[in-house]
Structure 1
Amino acid sequence: MTEKTLEELKRALGLKETFFISLGGQSPLLSLLTYGAAVLSISGFFSPIAVLLGTLLVLLNGSVVSRLSLRFQDSGGYYTYASRALSKALGFQTGWLYAFYSILYGCAYIFGASYLLNLVFGLPVYLSISVLLIPSVTLLILGVKPSSKYAVVVGALELGVIVFLSIFFLSRTHFEFYTLKAPNLSVGKLALAILLASSIPTGYGTVAPMSGEVINASKNVGRAILLVILVGGALASFYMYSLSDLLQTFGGASLVSFHTIFKGTALPVVLLACLSDGVLAALAFMLASSRTLFKMGRDLALPRFFAKVRNSNPLMSSLIVSLAYISICYSLSWISDPFHIFVVLGILSSLASLATHIAANFSLLRLSLNDAHFYEFALSLGAIAVSALDLFYSLTSVALFYLLILIAWTLIGQLYSRLRRLSHDNLSVS
């Protein structure tokens, strides 16, 4: 291997670029049109509170990651945290699970946007997938600088559209506000609604693996994480309340057609933002997963070719992630309708995300015990308890095959890790 292969990535992202890439991973507008629809179908007019509770869960876990980013400023994110704070074996499992989460999460956004394009324009699913994947993959291969410029422009547009839509919904009800009432939901259903709601403001998870490319990462990564959660969560709750208010005016908590809600100029604005946001959502998670695989390759947790760098871009990891997205999206598009696939991938990736964050929480817990830092100890312990509780109740509310897929992926990772260690041991002996 050449020295070029082992070079680190250059730091080129300031706070603004880091914030908007994180916002891209959050993709609040597309999340509200997809995950928001799922939350609404489960919790009805209680959905604004479900989104608020989901935001609090995300803020708790995000605060943990923010503290960890103060200690570790290189690439890899959750993989790096667990490897350094816990053990290399647990670090590999965390990185392995994060790759599962980030790739499926990005694919879920592709299918969510494809569903909307198919619903409104009647665009064939395979064609809408192509429209979203081609620019995402192109920007990923070009590198982080052009990707961050795209994120800033699209992210700013998206925030403006969410504010516009929220006020637009309220104006159609003549600003008559409804009173939130306690939901008639089981604990499991409420936990599932909170889990899906937490998927709306959770894009900060894309920034942690990119810490090695952030200028002054010890400050800017943590700031971007907390800022994007608070901004995204507040706007999402406002949007869900205004939408629920509108739906109650229509006479029920069911999703009415886009042509009924988004009349006149609102429809093209939403679709334009949705299309550009679908690209940005996939791109943000592609960047995150490729940086995680890159770092695992550098540490020999994965084959060294994952760490190949060209023009400060992890080329091989980016190509492999691109192939994974292309394979998953096109193969699944023939199995079922895009919204059903979106829900399946969304639930799977959300469960994996919770498990990944529990690993990060334990990483901070271990570090806080070593440093006798009470605030970090209390924060990590609280995050572990809340995340584990939500994960448990969510698992009791979904089909068994979700759990089986997660277990299967974890076992495959353990098997690969052990075989790789045995191979290294045999080479060392010989």
Structure 2
Amino acid sequence: MSTVEQFGYRQELQRSLGFADLMIYGLIFMVPIAPFGIFGNVFAVSHGMVALAYLIGLVAMAFTALSYAQMARAFPMAGSVYTYAGRGIGAPVGFIAGWAILLDYLLVPALLYLVASVAMNSFVPAVPVWGWLAAFVVLNTVVNYLGIQMTARITRIMLAAELAVLAIFLVVGGVALAQGKAQTGALTPLFDSAGFSWSVVLAAASVAVLSFLGFDGISTLAEENREDARRLGRSMLAALAVAAVLFVVQTWVAALLTPGRDALIANGDAAGSAFYDTAEFAGGPWLSVLTAVATAVAWGFANSLVAQAATSRLLFAMGRDRMLPSFLGRVHPRHKVPVNATLVVAAISLVLGIFMSTRENGIGELASLVNFGAMFAFLLLHVSVVVHYLIRKRSGNLLAHLVVPVAGFLVLVAVVINQNVAAQWVGGLWLLLGLILLGTTYVMGRRPQLPQEVV
């Protein structure tokens, strides 16, 4: 079994997580009820073919998860795609990969806090959005500060609660369908010849894939995994598979029951209430309230809790290698967590979340940027598999080390091309800034380097 010492590091984080902990962490990061919050957007963009959009998103992420599993075996360290691209291709490429996915990781907690705070403000308007946001940030920071085992215990409880709400919706939805409340044919959520085109479905998949982002966060806990590195990759695949089944089933049922289908497709879901309107149509106001509150708590506490943990591990890894300020690499001596990185993520989430809450379409602006960084980083991940295994190691396993990463690369390119244009521009500017920072280090004579592997 490879260790971090083999790659020139000290084992500072606490190895206490098993396969179940990692899989549950990934599920919570993806949020089993994630489609509740973006259902209307995916429905409108896909022309009602929501289940198909999620299936295509699954294909894109399945190839990526397989590539993650291969690199996790080779380099069982924190840092996710930053580590894999850096070790698999080279330190400068690792920096760009880490910089790209930072756009996703740094924005995701702020987006989650903002969505949840807006939702909670609609139920308890006496507490302003910024008040809810600050409460969520403080609560999650305290839990993460107390250690990864505390985070793991909390995620188990939250997962059970989310699955209970989902089960209630599916049972009530099933009864509604049995009573003849379906608004369309049974297969329409999967394929509708009247609205189908590849550009439509891929554009919808680029939105739906947001629900799958999070399985990759498991890789940031590599140095807290107490089992063989292979278990890390298997936990990613298991979490992705379970989430995919849940996403497809719940969106299929919801798409069959959605009232005002044509208006939703034509006008979109600016208020973000399409799923809750569908829940009310299926079971009454109580189900609408239940699903809305569950979404707020899931996004604002459970999902943002693990998002903060994952982001802090990425900053920790880049700080430890001096790709970012070295103070980010400090580990708390008692709790064994990257304490400075955790506090920095909390501060960024708080400031950015409050600022975006003052903008007319703050949630939409944040959401449009989240996917771009992840997709670009995943492209470099697939390249790192080919370079490390096929070119350097002369691997004969062409399926795992050539076919899968190339297929994953091509699928992601199709998704990125069909992403929001504004997100492409801002994401491109973010990457340009990263290249400028990288170039500056060369000019200053500080060529990016990683600790050498101990043979």
Whole-angstrom distance in 1 between the partners of 2:203 and 2:195: 14
Tell me the CA shift for residue 379 of structure 1. Answer: 0.5
Q: Which residue of 2 is the match for residue 387 of structure 1?
A: 412
Aligned to 1:292: 314
Cα contact 2:29–2:303 (8 A) shared by 1: yes
1:197 matched to 2:227: no
**Quick one: distance in 2 between partners of 1:150 and 1:81?**
29
CA contact (8 A) 2:97 2:380 kept: yes
Aligned length: 413
Deviation, 1:182, is 2.7
Question: Could you report, residue by residue, the CA deviation over 1:262-311 in whole angstroms, capped at 9, with x for unpaired residues?
Answer: 63653454345324312111121111111111111111212221111113
For residue 315 of structure 1, report the CA deviation from its aligned partner.
Answer: 1.1
Matched, 1:330 2:354: yes
**Who is 2:451 aligned against?**
none
Counterpart-to-counterpart distance in 1, 2:45 and 2:315: 35
Q: Deviations over 1:76-101 (max 9, x none)?
A: 11101000111110100111111111
In structure 1, how many angstroms separate the alpha carbons of the residues matched to 2:138 and 2:433? 30
- Quickly say closer, same or farther: Cα 1:199–1:328, change in 2 above 3 A: same
Residues 425 and 115 of structure 1, relative CA distance in 2, 3 Å threshold: closer
1:37 aligns with 2:40: yes
Distance (whole Å) between structure 1 residues aligned to residue 132 and residue 262 of structure 2: 31
Counterpart CA distance in 2 for 1:41 and 1:264 is: 23
1:188 maps to a residue whose letter is: S
TM-superposed deviation, 1:357: 0.7
Q: Aligned to 1:313, what secondary structure does the other structure show?
A: coil
- What is aligned with 2:65? 62
Name 1:9's counterpart in structure 2.
13
Task: State the shift of 1:393 in Å.
Answer: 2.4
Which of 76, 92, 104 aligns to 1:89? It is 92
Query: Out of 320, 326, 337, which is 2:344 matched to?
Result: 320
Instruction: Measure how far apart 1:37 and its partner are.
Output: 2.4
Instruction: For 1:405, give the aligned amino acid.
Output: V
Is there any run of 5+ residues in structure 2 with no aligned partner, and where? 1-8, 265-273, 448-455
Aligned: 1:404 with 2:428: no
For 2:261 and 2:390, locate their aligned partners in 1 and report how far apart those are by CA, in whole Å. Answer: 54
CA distance in 2, matches of 1:373, 1:251: 47
1:140 correspondence with 2:144: yes
- The match for 2:199 is 188
Gaps of 5+ in 1: none
Question: In structure 1, what is the equivalent of residue 376 of structure 2?
Answer: 355
Distance 1:425 1:65, change over 3 A: closer
Query: TM-score normalized by structure 1?
Result: 0.89
Matches within 5 A, 1:27-426: 27-29=31-33, 31-122=34-125, 124-174=128-178, 176=180, 178-179=185-186, 180=188, 181-182=192-193, 184-248=195-259, 252=262, 254=264, 255=274, 257=277, 260=281, 263=284, 265-267=286-288, 269-278=290-299, 279-310=301-332, 311=334, 312-336=336-360, 340-370=361-391, 371-376=395-400, 377-394=402-419, 398-399=420-421, 401-425=422-446
> Measured at CA, do residues 425 and 195 of structure 1 come closer, stay the same or move farther in structure 2, by a change above 3 Å?
closer
Q: Quickly say closer, same or farther: Cα 1:133–1:175, change in 2 above 3 A.
A: farther
- Distance of 1:52 and 1:119 partners within structure 2: 32
CA contact (8 A) 1:73 1:217 kept: no
Change (3 A) 1:309 1:35: same
Distance 1:243 1:173 in 2: 10
One-letter identity of the residue aligned with 2:321:
D
Aligned-pair distance for 1:107?
Answer: 2.1
SS in 2 for 1:45: coil
> Aligned partners of 2:229, 2:179: CA distance in 1, in Å?
44
Residue type matched to 2:235 in 1? A
Note the C-alpha offset of 1:22: 0.8
Give the one of 18, 22, 27 matched to 2:26. 22
| 1:170-203 deviation line (CA, Å, top 9, x unaligned) | 2123265623223515543322201111121332
CA RMSD of aligned residues (A): 2.3
**Could you report, residue by residue, the CA deviation over 1:121-177 in whole angstroms, capped at 9, with x for unpaired residues?**
546322332342221222222221111111111012212321221221221232656
Contact 2:103 2:369 in 1 (8 A): no
What is the CA–CA distance in structure 1 between the aligned matches of 2:16 and 2:296, rounded to whole Å? Answer: 27
Taking a change above 3 Å as real, the CA distance of residues 351 and 270 of structure 1, as seen in their structure-2 partners, is same
Whether the 8 Å contact between 1:9 and 1:313 is mirrored in structure 2 is yes
Distance 1:227 1:7 in 2: 27
- Give the secondary-structure state (helix, strand or coil) at the position aligned to 1:110: helix
Aligned 8 A contact 2:79 2:317 in 1 = yes
Output the CA distance in 2 between the equivalents of 1:364 and 1:67. 7
Query: Which protein is richer in helix relative to its size?
Result: 1
> Displacement of 1:118 after TM fit?
3.7
